[in-house]
Amino acid sequence: MIEFRDVHFSYSSREILKDVNFSVGFHERVAILGGSGEGKTTILKLILGLIRPDGGKIFVDGEDITIKQESQLRDIRMKFNMVFQDGALFDSLNVKENVAFCLREYTNMSEEAIDKKVRRILSTVGVEHALELMPEELSGGMHRRVSLARSLALATPLMFLYDEPTTGLDPLNADNICRLIADLSREGKGFIMVTHKVSDALKVADRLMFLREGKLLFDGNRQELLNTTITDIKAFISETAPRGPSRTQ
């Protein structure tokens, strides 16, 4: 379980998160909604211990990660698979080497076994044809699929963390990524997806949160979100929510 207790975070003099409280089980399918610069990505980075809060406590699996040293955070981070908004693929490595990165560093697998595993993972996310391409040759959708494949290579995590996985993609690609996210969460593995696209959040998440000016304004299910009376959220949804039933659902 992930638990935020009165978490406060500021960057320079700007307050990003103000006393945020929530807890999420590893099996839950959560979407954190909010506009740009509201602190959504900050929450993911705080969960992984990539940044430290100015105040409050963050517990992952019962351990307070705010007091841990960098070297002690490795085991915490291995519980998650993170997919950054831009994919964060290593520029200097091709797709195959990106996916094989952790296998080479952490295992003694033979070249043949690595090649076989990389091909299998890439075919899972539908980009097996991109094996030899460099990151700059990939489209936005492929970038994120390869990033997902890379995070799947080493071990199955307890939970996935997605940072704006569909932002900047055309509707077809965005739908494919949502389907992939839904597929990966079928074996009881939850995820936290941060996004400003309400339609995508409604497609894949069971629990939705809404961040506004550093505060958690809403925490509930789809129906509660759509029926909310909070003006800020209603305005946000009316701008981005889908008009009809979604395909992934």
Partner 1 sequence: MIKIKETLRDLQDFYSLSFSGLLGIGRRPFYLKDALLQMDYAGAGSLLIVFIVDLFVGMALSLQLSAELSRLGLKMYIGMIVGISVVRELGPVVTALVFTGRVGAGMASELGSMALGNQVDMIRVFGFDPIKKLVTPRIVSSLIMLPALTIIGVAVSLLGGYYIAVFVSHQSGTFYWSSIRNILTIENVLAGAIKPFVFGYLIACICCYSGLSTKGGAIGLRHSTTKAVVMSIVMIIISDFLLTRLLLYVLGFSV
User: Residue numbers of the site for partner 1 (CB under 8 A)?
Assistant: 45, 48, 50, 70-71, 73-74, 77-78, 80, 82, 84-86, 88-91, 101-102, 105, 154
Q: Which is nearer to partner 1, 48 or 226 (CB)?
A: 48
Q: Which is nearer to partner 1, 86 or 213 (CB)?
A: 86
Q: Which is nearer to partner 1, 47 or 216 (CB)?
A: 47
Strands, E, within the chain: which ranges? 2-11, 14-24, 29-33, 55-60, 63-64, 80-83, 159-163, 190-195, 207-212, 215-221
Residue with tokens 């999420």, as numbered in its chain: 24
Q: Which is nearer to partner 1, 106 or 170 (CB)?
A: 106
The distance of closest approach from Cβ of residue 46 to partner 1 in the complex, given in angstroms and rounded to an integer, is 12
The distance of closest approach from Cβ of residue 49 to partner 1 in the complex, given in angstroms and rounded to an integer, is 8
DSSP state of 13: T
The distance of closest approach from Cβ of residue 229 to partner 1 in the complex, given in angstroms and rounded to an integer, is 37
Residue with tokens 């698979």, as numbered in its chain: 81
Please report, for residues 15, 82, 108, 163, 225, the alpha-carbon distance to residue 197 in angstroms, rounded to integers and kept in the order given. Answer: 23, 19, 41, 12, 14
Angle of helix 171-184 relative to helix 140-153, nearest 10 degrees?
10
The distance of closest approach from Cβ of residue 47 to partner 1 in the complex, given in angstroms and rounded to an integer, is 11
Q: Which is nearer to partner 1, 105 or 187 (CB)?
A: 105
The distance of closest approach from Cβ of residue 48 to partner 1 in the complex, given in angstroms and rounded to an integer, is 6
The distance of closest approach from Cβ of residue 108 to partner 1 in the complex, given in angstroms and rounded to an integer, is 13
β partners of residue 7: 20
The residues, any chain, with a CB within 8 Å of residue 196's CB and separated by 6 or more, are: 33, 34, 35, 36, 40, 164, 167, 240
Q: Which is nearer to partner 1, 101 or 222 (CB)?
A: 101
Return d(Cα 73, Cα 7) in angstroms, integer. Answer: 18
Return d(Cα 65, Cα 228) in angstroms, integer. Answer: 34
